[in-house]
Structure 1
């Protein structure tokens, strides 16, 4: 499997172009979770990017913090929150080493899990374990291996295997992930740059034991 992208690579991406996962709004699958009352307690938006989900949750009154390893993304997220008048909190942090000083009841992972290689995926799940407690829930949205190569893709078995020890996968269903076509994918998808796509994805609800 390919190696996980470095944090510096992500930061450079945010500095020099708009990533295809930045759509200017929350993912519909995450909005549906919020509307269904699935987001409770203290919330971590891990890999928050430019902050759309953190802003959504903070605006709805949730106790939430958005973390990302790319300082440029966090700066953009703070500007986005200020522009919307939402007092959202953002911090720079390494998802592979979150520490254990703060624990969360709900974790939202929108398109982070699928970027990791096998070794870093195990480190990531261990890191999530350290910042959750028994009963905490991770909502994981990841591009599916049924997709067209819009980004890194994972199989259902990859998710289940990663969360085998110390967790239970309560639900894992098919959904979609919204993105914007850039020059990186225009030829592959045979679509013009700027097109919106809804690619196959997994949505998992995973509970910490």
Structure 2
């Protein structure tokens, strides 16, 4: 059976990516990260989602990116600002080179389990404009992975980095996820990580907007 490593944060994008890979018949290996973020809500959500998807293996990798901070998600001296759905600048929630780090580790995991596919739920049309969510970055990382793994460079088994939502909006992702049966009620989006979603950070506002535009009921909305 063809195998895929899916980067699973516990949020909407990665959950839909996982269910998409599942629908395409991959044997699934999920990878989540405790990277020193403000809370563990998304880590707990990822574990539950992996269980529901009946993945072959779910791994949690610890990387202490909070040692150097640089983001309101990893540096508690910085505030998570209130959201703005019309934002055009890159917000302080950007974690320096996070997806570069995650994809590098995913490549190591993929080679170890002989998976020729990595799924990541990034979108360059999302509000943030994060540089590590753009197609040029994904293409460059795929090339680096295939130059730097024995499986690809020597055994001629290239690794494909799938970014199926690179040109999709969150609304389109939700519509796809609804068709695939994604358990949205178990996903977590809030940056602040309180007992309940704050409803006012960028992620909460964009989630609410996308569900509203999709005409889909957010099963997690009653948590707010």
Structure 2 length as normaliser, TM-score? 0.41
Structure ranking higher in strand proportion: 1
Higher relative contact order (CA 8 A, sep 6+): 2
Structure ranking higher in helix proportion: 2
